[in-house]
């Protein structure tokens, strides 16, 4: 006999509930782990998924740069000049702010990630691009950067509306970015489950930021966590598994993932958050 239940999540009113149907485990009388991996259905909607997941006119830019192994210091020095240029330009600073700058310590090494915040939606991005396209100083910096890197990728991302506001941290921390590639059409379901799951991951203020992609590689999710050190990360993650309900949140989201990987990040010297 089938058991029906609904997931209850703290979401904006325009979210749609998820209906889940799965069989009981005859041996234990409780839902088995496999029963939680059944496909859920979502009610049709005329609203875009991005509008349902994010309720702010703020867009973030995530830059991923793979620098040459023997050019790390030159690359960072060049990028700091980029940051100084942006901060010195009044029209840019009105709408653009550097949130964080990291280099990868574990994972894809010889890599840097930079997170920027645009206030004012895509109009803000257009206004900044107009300035940069006409700036010979910036174009020179951008050309010089090519000497130090192997590849670049830019992604525009939106913050999940249920995620805590970004709070800058003082020295000294490590960060973990867990990046997921989801199956197309599952972003709403991911958000519905994580709106509940995030409540299990705030005991040590480890939740730094949560994003989903808007332009660039699509159906990407990035969860960024902040820890004192690697041992603190281990203890914090283990404590979540001791919380009743966390295992269900994990079980519901596992079938939605096509690919995932994590990287440990170290803040650059000029990063606003440490």
Q: Which residues contact 106 (CB under 8 A, 6 or more apart)?
A: 263, 264
Encoding tokens for residue 265?
């990040």
Q: Are 32 and 25 in contact (CB under 8 A)?
A: yes
Q: Which residues contact 241 (CB under 8 A, 6 or more apart)?
A: 247
| pLDDT at residue number 104 | 98
Written as tens digits, the pLDDT of the chain (274 aa) is: 333 333 333 344 344 444 333 334 333 444 443 344 434 444 545 555 566 687 678 999 999 999 999 999 999 999 999 999 999 999 999 999 999 999 999 999 999 999 999 999 999 999 999 999 999 999 999 999 999 999 999 999 999 999 999 999 999 999 999 999 999 999 999 999 999 999 888 888 899 999 999 999 999 999 999 999 999 999 999 988 988 888 888 999 999 999 999 999 999 999 999 9
| pLDDT at residue number 245 | 85
> Which three-class secondary structure state does DSSP give residue 26?
coil
User: What DSSP state is assigned to residue 265?
Assistant: E
| pTM > 0.85: yes or no | no
pLDDT tens digits along 203-243: 888 999 999 999 999 999 999 999 999 999 999 999 889 88
| pLDDT at residue number 46 | 53
> Which three-class secondary structure state does DSSP give residue 141?
helix
| pLDDT at residue number 211 | 97
> Which three-class secondary structure state does DSSP give residue 253?
helix
DSSP code per residue over 188-202:
HHHHHHHHHHGGGS-
What domains can be seen in the chain, in order of their start residue? 58-159 (3.30.70.100)
């Amino acid at each position: 006999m089938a058991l029906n239940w609904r997931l209850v999540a703290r979401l904006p009113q325009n979210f749609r509930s998820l209906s889940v149907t799965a069989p009981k485990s005859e041996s234990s009388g409780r839902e088995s782990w496999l029963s939680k991996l059944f496909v859920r259905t979502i009610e049709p909607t005329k609203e875009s998924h991005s509008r349902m997941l994010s309720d702010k006119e703020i867009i973030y830019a995530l830059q991923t740069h793979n620098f040459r192994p023997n050019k790390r210091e030159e690359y960072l020095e060049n990028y700091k000049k980029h940051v100084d240029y942006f901060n010195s330009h009044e029209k840019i600073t009105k709408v653009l702010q550097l949130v964080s700058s990291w280099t990868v310590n574990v994972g894809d090494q010889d890599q840097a990630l930079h997170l920027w915040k645009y206030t004012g939606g895509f109009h803000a991005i257009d206004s900044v691009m107009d300035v940069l396209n006409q700036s010979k100083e910036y174009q020179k910096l951008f050309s010089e950067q090519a000497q130090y890197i192997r590849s670049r990728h830019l992604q525009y991302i939106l913050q999940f509306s249920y995620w805590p506001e970004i709070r800058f941290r003082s020295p000294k921390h490590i960060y973990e970015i867990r990046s997921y590639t989801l199956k197309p059409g599952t972003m709403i379901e991911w958000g519905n489950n994580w709106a509940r799951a995030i409540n299990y991951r705030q005991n040590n203020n480890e939740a730094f930021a949560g994003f989903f992609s808007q332009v660039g590689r699509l159906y990407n999710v990035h969860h960024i966590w902040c820890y004192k050190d690697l041992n603190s990360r281990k203890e914090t993650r283990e404590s979540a598994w001791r919380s009743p309900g966390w295992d269900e949140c994990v079980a519901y989201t596992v079938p939605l993932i096509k690919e995932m990987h994590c990287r440990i990040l170290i803040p650059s010297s000029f990063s606003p958050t440490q």
